[in-house]
Amino acid sequence: MAPTTEHPVTMYYPHDLHRRHGDLCCEQVLVARIAKAVGTPVYIYSYKTLVEHVRRLRAAFGAHAPLICFSVKANGNLAILRLVVQQGAGLDIVSGGELYKAQQAGCPASRIVFASVGKRPDEIRHALTAGIFCFNVESAPELAAINDIARRMRTTARVALRINPDVDAHTHTYITTGVAETKFGIDRVTAITLLRRHADYPGIRFIGLHVHIGSQISDSAPFVKAIRRVAEVLEQGRAVGVPLEWLNLGGGLGIIYKDERPQTPQAFAAAVLPLIRQLQVRLILEPGRFIIGNAGLLVTELLYIKQARGKRFAVVDAGMNDLIRPALYGAYHEVMPVTAPVTGWHRAGVYDVVGPVCESADVLARRRSLGVMEPGVLLAILGAGAYGSTMTSNYNGRLRPAEVLVRGRRWAVIRQRETLKDLIRHDVIPRSLIR
């Protein structure tokens, strides 16, 4: 891969980052100022970018505005969730933990949808008690379990069957979910059988269908194909008297990390709306990355420049425990100095940006032109808003980073940096076993 030679804040990012006299700003705030005040590594999010993405997606659908359920797994910070909910969105959750967060963030239960192939009985009870909008059910045994629990609780559970449409979304294997070999969803034949037997599930109200074919998808065609494939299930279900009203298309809208050209919300809406009208369903979307991905950056400090075998490493204070996407998926994130290097952008200096974690996979970026750098400079890692902070860990005894939200000229910490005490908070030395 050729080293990046672009001037850092490129034009094509739909984000609110820009340079003021060479210094990186998130909205109206100098990124360096935040880093100085709260330390590094730190996640920084733009309020405006987030709100704008929700607005753009909604606007694209006009009168057919979908219920947008932001995917909590992309970013579960309470302030972010509250902000998304304030914009009129609901939340897509996958565990009792995320349900708890959704409630703490003030999300109305009527806007919560619950997916996951492995919902535990206690999580199902919790969701029924809360009165969530619906469960996205991923198997026949799960349907039976929800039915039993709902009956015992003398209530009914609203359910959308998650269909595995066997469509390849042409994205990374780890984030492909709509092909038959994955663990996700119910095949169409089984789904039709379940709908025919709807009377066997008195604890269930079937309200619609759900489909999620993968993440970081840049073309509308696989979505269209997936809708076509679930249409048959919808029609067959209706034919046997199940009033299926909703179609949840999942998440998956891709964003720009480097040079991708993902479909715009308008192009996406134009592709799917004719089918939605034809099927006479109401739409739910579960975007995560599209909403928050480009609204967030991770800021890290350069510790050392290290040379080895003709290679130059920029050793920084953020590692794969802080942002695992490059190590796990080989994902590309734009990296740029927060303050303009005095020597100019393109002079002397192609680096592999690596973290301190004891793993060869702890590489945040490879072969990047970052100019001449000295220890102490700050680097910004872009596109880190989605699946950044939610996938952090304490591996290597590292403290999870602080998080900051910027709104105009103002900013605030929305998650404190962890402390050393947090590292041992839940550990127990049992006196009965160890003296």
Options 148-156, 211-219, 231-239, 364-372: segment touching ligand LLP (CB under 6 A): 211-219
Tell me which residue has its CB nearest to ligand LLP: 251
Options 123-131, 225-233, 244-252, 266-274: segment touching ligand LLP (CB under 6 A): 244-252
Binding mask 80-99 for ligand LLP (x = CB under 6 A): ------------x-------
Specify the residue, 171 or 369, whose C-beta has the smaller distance to ligand LLP: 171
Give the closest residue to 210 by CA, choosing from 278, 143, 163, 141.
163
The distance of closest approach from Cβ of residue 251 to ligand LLP in the complex, given in angstroms and rounded to an integer, is 2
- One of 387, 389, 404, 414 touching ligand LLP (CB under 6 A): 387
For 35-66, b/e burial (b = at least 16 CB within 10 A) is: beebebbbbbbbbbbbbbbbeebbebbeeeeb
Specify the residue, 325 or 415, whose C-beta has the smaller distance to ligand LLP: 325
The distance of closest approach from Cβ of residue 216 to ligand LLP in the complex, given in angstroms and rounded to an integer, is 6
Task: Give, as ranges, the residues between 64 and 83 that touch ligand LLP (CB under 6 A).
Answer: 71, 73-74
Binding mask 310-349 for ligand LLP (x = CB under 6 A): ---------------x---x--------------------
Options 55-63, 210-218, 315-323, 421-429: segment touching ligand LLP (CB under 6 A): 210-218
Which of the following is catalytic: 25, 26, 69, 358?
A: 358
Specify the residue, 42 or 137, whose C-beta has the smaller distance to ligand LLP: 137
Tell me, yes or no, if 358 is annotated catalytic. yes
The distance of closest approach from Cβ of residue 76 to ligand LLP in the complex, given in angstroms and rounded to an integer, is 12
Give the whole-angstrom CA distance, residue 208 versus residue 284.
Answer: 10
Give the whole-angstrom CA distance, residue 314 versus residue 304.
Answer: 6
Specify the residue, 40 or 177, whose C-beta has the smaller distance to ligand LLP: 177
The distance of closest approach from Cβ of residue 154 to ligand LLP in the complex, given in angstroms and rounded to an integer, is 29
Binding mask 273-302 for ligand LLP (x = CB under 6 A): -------------xxxxx------------
Provide the phi-psi class of 22: left if phi over 0, else alpha when psi is between -120 and 50, else beta: left
Specify the residue, 284 or 315, whose C-beta has the smaller distance to ligand LLP: 284
Specify the residue, 183 or 197, whose C-beta has the smaller distance to ligand LLP: 183
- One of 72, 115, 316, 320 touching ligand LLP (CB under 6 A): 115
The distance of closest approach from Cβ of residue 240 to ligand LLP in the complex, given in angstroms and rounded to an integer, is 26
Residues 129 and 109: beta-carbon distance below 8 Å: no
Q: Is 367 exposed, middle or buried (0-12, 13-18, 19+ CB in 10 A)?
A: middle
- One of 101, 212, 333, 398 touching ligand LLP (CB under 6 A): 212
Binding positions for ligand LLP, rule: CB under 6 A: 71, 73-74, 92, 115, 175, 177, 212, 215-216, 250-253, 286-290, 325, 329, 386-387
Catalytically active residues, by annotation: 358
